[in-house]
Amino acid sequence: MATDPAEPRVAVEPKGTRDWLRDSVEAGGGILVEPAEAEALVWTAPGLDEGETVDDATSLGELLAAHPSVGWVQLPWAGVELYRAAGLLDDQRVWTCGKGIYGPPVAEHALTLTLAGLRNLKRLATARSWRADAGVSLMGGGVTIFGGGGIARSLVSLLAPFDCRIQVVRRHDTPLAGTHLTMPFEQRYQALAGVDAVVLALPLTPETEGLIGDIELELMEPHAWLVNVARGRHVVVDDLVKALRDDAIGGAALDVTDPEPLPPGHPLWDLPNCLITSHVANTEDMAIPLLSQRVSANVARFAAGQPLLGRVDPELGY
């Protein structure tokens, strides 16, 4: 049966993974087809916390090589480093991802980790006897956020009631609403001292891998907490372990680690000033409505010839 030319032909692959996205394609006005007939592809590979491997990028590359008619690819998550490393991101197609949509739940988790860290909840909650006073209040404190995207914007909003002085470090110095100071990446060292928490909420690129090492940890305040809701490879883990053992900083609250998953017996598990959650800042249940809305909106925009949301810059890698 002939279809309206304005109805995009969209494949959802691999089959059997997040089939609810098929409903999202149809809700946006798309027609579900096999890859051989598709002009657009919604890729539904597992997230990094669910065992995503290089094989996922390889499978996507093989599918695209076999079906060059696909002109737009929608990736499921905000992080696209796996596909960049595989050499898939190019100018031959339009690439979009989930950046921007997961900001609220991830920022909520970042705030949770920040408060738990500054209040020494791991030590206090695991104590088996009454403990002495401990903890730092976030009210009127200082927070540095690395990253200026959706997570950072959401976190800035959540921090408003705490009356914090907020600094943002990003690729450029364009001011971020609600913050006191925005610095370009070249000035990042200045943003580490004098704050109570340093939050990592930025993409993983060759420039940001190993962003936090011994030099950066030495610049942080002795009571300050490092909070990472981005990618584990932003942090040099051996340097972090040493800093935590030496009480060089207050502690680290990590939703992501390197390696990931963090193996049993790793030193980070047992450090009293290290709080770890297993990459749960954005869960599947949280993602379903957010990613569904993004896919539906982008299918409708694709049909109308409008700019797509969450566009990936192949040169920047995010």
What confidence tier does 80 reach under pLDDT thresholds 50, 70, 90?
very high
Among the ranges given (94-108, 117-131, 142-156, 228-242), the one the predictor scored with the smallest mean pLDDT: 117-131
Residue 51 confidence (pLDDT) above 50: no
The secondary structure of residue 20, as a DSSP letter, is H
Over residues 40-58, the mean pLDDT reads: 71
Please name every residue paired with 184 in a beta bridge, in sequence order, or none if there are none: 170
- Who contacts 142 (Cβ-Cβ below 8 Å, separation ≥6)? 164, 165, 166, 167, 194, 195, 196, 197
Which backbone phi and psi does 133 adopt, to 5 degrees?
-55, 140
Contact call for residues 15 and 59 (beta carbons, < 8 A): no
* Rounded-to-integer distance, Cα 251 and Cα 303, Å: 49
Q: Of 22, 109, 231, 233, which one is the catalytic site residue?
A: 231
What confidence tier does 53 reach under pLDDT thresholds 50, 70, 90?
low
* Rounded-to-integer distance, Cα 122 and Cα 114, Å: 12
Same fold, 9-101+283-304 and 103-276: yes
Over residues 56-79, the mean pLDDT reads: 94
What confidence tier does 1 reach under pLDDT thresholds 50, 70, 90?
very low
Among the ranges given (46-50, 114-118, 313-317), the one the predictor scored with the smallest mean pLDDT: 46-50
* Rounded-to-integer distance, Cα 285 and Cα 297, Å: 19
Over residues 97-120, the mean pLDDT reads: 97
What confidence tier does 131 reach under pLDDT thresholds 50, 70, 90?
confident
**Range 9-101+283-304 classified under CATH 3.40.50.720:** yes
Q: Of 84, 109, 279, 294, which one is the catalytic site residue?
A: 279
What confidence tier does 66 reach under pLDDT thresholds 50, 70, 90?
very high
Report the topology of domain 103-276.
Rossmann fold (3.40.50)
State residue 2's pLDDT score: 36
| Tens-digit pLDDT profile for residues 158-208 | 999 999 999 999 999 899 999 999 999 999 999 999 999 999 999 999 999
Residue 67 designated active-site = no
State residue 49's pLDDT score: 42
Over residues 288-300, the mean pLDDT reads: 97
Give me the percent of the chain exceeding a pLDDT of 70: 96
What confidence tier does 46 reach under pLDDT thresholds 50, 70, 90?
low
Residue 84 confidence (pLDDT) above 70: yes
Q: Of 123, 260, 266, 301, which one is the catalytic site residue?
A: 260
* Rounded-to-integer distance, Cα 222 and Cα 193, Å: 10
The secondary structure of residue 133, as a DSSP letter, is P
Which backbone phi and psi does 117 adopt, to 5 degrees?
-70, -55
Which of 14, 71, 73, 51 lies closest to 295 in space, CA to CA?
73
State residue 135's pLDDT score: 92
What does pLDDT average to over the chain? 93
| Tens-digit pLDDT profile for residues 218-247 | 999 999 999 999 999 999 999 999 999 999
Contact call for residues 77 and 50 (beta carbons, < 8 A): no
Over residues 56-82, the mean pLDDT reads: 94
Q: If you search the block for the tokens 């609250």, which residue do you land on?
A: 253
Contact call for residues 235 and 258 (beta carbons, < 8 A): yes
State residue 54's pLDDT score: 52
Q: Which tokens is 26 given?
A: 């149809």
Domain boundary assignment for the chain: 9-101+283-304, 103-276
